[in-house]
């Protein structure tokens, strides 16, 4: 095999709870992560020159060690003494700095792809261990699907597949610093916290209403106060027929869950026509276990 083409899936959070700050400065989390059908296309190819070359369709995106996908490639080359060169091309479809784990997913996909391309024989657990050295969301992006994430996001428990729903993503032309959001979080002032166990039970029962009622993200208390227009996006999604809305990760992306495709498509078309939000994306819950698809 000389080359491989893979899909790096985005994620949303169905719940996100922050339990407290750790001694190392990070936070202990408890959250339900869910893959969606939105993806970046990642092409990886062996080359004759013993180097790494990365390019993407975003001209300002770093193509060196500031890019997690590049960093993943370098780690794999050094750790497994790969002498051939590697060329990576990423067609970005996942909005950048959006709370959708686009960079982490690209990184995870490069780890997975190099393992396949060079027949390294690493298990998923071994890949996830390498991924954790690159970023806390990377192990989940290797696992994908529906999962409970604890610790800093590194302790993962697979959950039964989330029932099918359609998803409308709204990402404005702003970027949010994850560090700023976490530093601005005062847990003593958080009024609403997720009932994660209740949402897990709803997932197990295929109960879409139970999942929708349980959507909760404590980081909204920070990001939505910084960017009040995000509250307006949530309201508009509900007015256009969403069954539930939430912010993904530390934001700024707001998503709406829709049970019926027609309702999601109508909302998507209306937001696109209104033209005041930079990224309006129609996608759906992704649950297939097959990798590469």
pLDDT recorded at residue 187: 83
The answer to whether the predicted template modeling score (pTM) of the entire model surpasses 0.85 is: yes
Distance of CA 40 to the CA centre of its chain: 11
Phi, psi for residue 205 in degrees, rounded to 5 = -90, 0
The one catalytic residue among 17, 40, 106, 137? 137
d(CA 285, CA 39): 12
Distance (Å, whole) CA 81 – CA 96: 32
Taking the C-alpha atoms of residue 52 and residue 164, their distance in angstroms, rounded to an integer, is 39
Angle between helix 124-132 and 68-79 (nearest 10): 120
Give per-residue pLDDT as tens, 219-265: 999 999 999 999 999 999 999 999 999 999 999 999 999 999 999 99
C-alpha count within 13 angstroms, C-beta hemisphere, residue 116: 18
Query: In a 10 Å sphere around its CB, with 0-12 CB exposed, 13-18 middle and 19+ buried, how is residue 15 labelled?
Result: buried
Region 78-82: what's the mean pLDDT? Answer: 97
Residues whose CB falls within 8 Å of the CB of residue 59, separated by 6 or more in sequence, listed in order: none
Q: Is the pLDDT at 97 greater than 80, yes or no? A: yes
**Burial call 88-124: b when 16+ CB within 10 Å, e when fewer:** bebebbbbebbbbbbbbbbbbbbbbbbbbbbeeebee
pLDDT above 70: percentage of residues in the chain = 98
Is 292 a residue whose pLDDT tops 70? no
Query: What is the reported pLDDT for 289?
Result: 59
Beta strands 3-21; 216-217: pairing state = parallel
Over the chain, what is the mean pLDDT? 94
Residue 192 has pLDDT above 90, yes or no: no
Instruction: Verify whether residue 232 is a known catalytic residue.
Output: no
pLDDT of residue 293: 54
* Helical pair 102-117 and 68-79, crossing angle rounded to 10 deg: 30
Both structure tokens of 129: 């261990």
> Which position has the token pair 């295929």?
206
Kindly report, residue by residue over 209-228, the tens digit of the pLDDT: 999 999 999 999 999 999 99
Tokens of 126: 């071994």
Q: Which residues are annotated as part of the binding site?
A: 95-105
Catalytic entry in 11, 77, 234, 240: 11
8 A C-beta contact, residue 258 and residue 242: yes
Please say whether the beta carbons of 241 and 266 come within 8 A: yes
At residue 291 the predicted structure's pLDDT band, cuts being 50, 70 and 90, is: very low
Whole-angstrom distance, CA of residue 47 vs CA of residue 103: 24
Q: Which pLDDT value is given to residue 122?
A: 98
Question: Could you tell me the two tokens for 134?
Answer: 């690159």
pLDDT value at residue 288: 66
Binding-site residue ranges for ATP:
95-105
Whether 137 is catalytic is yes
Looking at residue 196, its pLDDT comes to 96
Residue 189: is its pLDDT beyond 70? yes
Are 112 and 16 in contact, with CB atoms under 8 Å apart?
A: no
């Amino acid at each position: 095999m000389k080359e491989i083409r893979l899909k790096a899936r985005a994620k949303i959070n169905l719940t996100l709870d922050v339990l407290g700050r750790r001694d190392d400065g990070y936070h202990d989390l408890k959250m339900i992560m869910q893959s969606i059908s939105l993806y970046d296309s990642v092409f990886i190819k062996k080359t004759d020159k013993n180097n790494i070359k990365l390019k993407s369709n975003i001209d300002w995106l770093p193509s060196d060690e500031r890019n997690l996908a590049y960093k993943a490639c370098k780690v794999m080359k050094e750790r497994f003494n790969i002498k051939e060169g590697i060329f990576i091309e990423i067609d970005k479809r996942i909005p950048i700095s959006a709370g959708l784990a686009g960079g982490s997913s690209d990184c995870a996909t490069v780890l997975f792809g190099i393992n396949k391309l060079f027949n390294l024989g690493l298990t998923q657990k071994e890949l996830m261990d390498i991924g954790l050295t690159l970023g806390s969301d990377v192990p989940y992006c290797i696992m994908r699907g529906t999962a409970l994430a604890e610790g800093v996001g590194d302790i993962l428990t697979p959950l039964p597949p989330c029932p099918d729903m359609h998803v409308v993503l709204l990402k404005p032309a702003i970027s949010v610093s994850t560090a700023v959001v976490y530093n601005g979080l005062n847990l003593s002032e958080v009024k609403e916290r997720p009932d994660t166990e209740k949402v897990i039970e709803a997932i197990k029962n295929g109960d879409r209403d139970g999942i929708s009622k349980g959507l909760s993200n404590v980081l909204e208390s920070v990001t939505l106060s910084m960017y009040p227009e995000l509250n307006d996006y949530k309201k508009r999604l509900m007015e256009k027929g969403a069954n539930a809305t939430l912010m993904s990760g530390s934001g700024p992306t707001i998503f709406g869950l829709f049970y019926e495709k027609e309702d999601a498509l109508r909302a998507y078309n209306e937001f696109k026509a209104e033209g005041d939000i930079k990224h309006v994306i129609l996608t759906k819950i992704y649950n297939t276990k097959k990798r590469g698809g």
